[in-house]
Amino acid sequence: MSGDGDEVRNRVQVYPTKLSVGTTGTSAGKLTLLKTPLFQTKTVPTGTFTLTADTNLSETNLLTTDDSGYITNDGEFIYGYLKGYLNDSTSFVKILGKLQRTNDLYYFYPYEVFSGKLVVASGDEFVRDDIFNSDGTVVGHNVNDFSKERLSSVFVSNVVQSPIPGTGTGVATYYVNAGSQDYDLSAYFDYNKEYISFPLTDSIETLYLSVESQAAHSGSPLLNVSASVTWEEQ
């Protein structure tokens, strides 16, 4: 509440200060601090979603389709891909975006910003991204399974789930192998002002620990990683 009696939104800033990592296994891996990636929602569509008219996404996000029951409830959305053609090129580009049903109409919001005329063509089918765990198996849970940290404004998720590829911003990357290590994060989050904040919008910023290991896909044992983050907030 402001001094004039008006309601104002508080802005919380979180400063990660230390990262502790312990790993087991014979494989090496890459651990990335990934800021605000996208994760698939729990919305389960019905059937397929196919465009029935060309749409210039540079001018409108409203799509034309006969598949009105693809998403059941108004306000729900899912992430997936459409084929697009940039500046009348004959080669298509893959467009990741959010498909949302609003007032029985469907809107598509691209994740990336494209320069120029971006058209999705009639007959193209929307391809939904699935929810995967660490070994690539499709699962039903969602990373929205958060728990409130005591005496803190931060919510924590311990769900092992892969973000949608290509989303989020890598703040820092570490190469890890068997053993344990502590990392000082002040150089990234304090000096570079890379705060994790609840900004003055409806979009909450997040930070996830993303682990990759090439050996896991070649038959070698998975790299087992345990990690913890210490933070301050104001």
Q: What is the pLDDT of residue 71?
A: 95
Q: What is the pLDDT of residue 219?
A: 58
Question: What is d(CA 181, CA 42) in angstroms, rounded to the nearest whole number?
Answer: 35
Q: What is the pLDDT of residue 223?
A: 76
Instruction: Tell whether 170 and 194 lie within a shared domain.
Output: yes
Instruction: For residue 153, tell me if it sits in a domain.
Output: yes
Question: What is d(CA 45, CA 48) in angstroms, rounded to the nearest whole number?
Answer: 8
Question: What is d(CA 37, CA 204) in angstroms, rounded to the nearest whole number?
Answer: 11
Q: What is the pLDDT of residue 187?
A: 77
Instruction: For residue 35, tell me if it sits in a domain.
Output: yes
Domains contained in the chain, number = 2
pLDDT in tens, the chain (234 residues): 556 777 766 667 788 889 999 888 777 788 999 988 998 988 889 999 999 999 999 999 999 999 889 999 999 999 999 999 999 888 999 999 999 999 999 999 999 988 889 999 999 999 999 888 777 778 776 666 666 666 677 888 777 788 898 899 888 888 888 888 899 888 777 766 667 766 555 667 888 988 887 665 555 566 788 888 888 887
Instruction: Tell whether 62 and 33 lie within a shared domain.
Output: no
Q: Give the predicted TM-score (pTM) of the model.
A: 0.81
Instruction: Tell whether 202 and 94 lie within a shared domain.
Output: no
In degrees, rounded to 5, the angle at the alpha carbon of residue 73 between the alpha carbons of residues 68 and 78 is 80
Instruction: Tell whether 66 and 181 lie within a shared domain.
Output: no
What confidence tens digit (pLDDT) does each residue in 127-184 have? Answer: 999 888 777 778 776 666 666 666 677 888 777 788 898 899 888 888 888 888 899 8
Q: What is the pLDDT of residue 146?
A: 67
Instruction: Tell whether 159 and 209 lie within a shared domain.
Output: yes
Q: Which domain holds residue 220?
A: 13-40+132-233
Instruction: For residue 75, tell me if it sits in a domain.
Output: yes
Question: What separation, in Å, do the N-terminal and C-terminal C-alpha atoms of the chain show?
Answer: 17
Instruction: Tell whether 98 and 155 lie within a shared domain.
Output: no
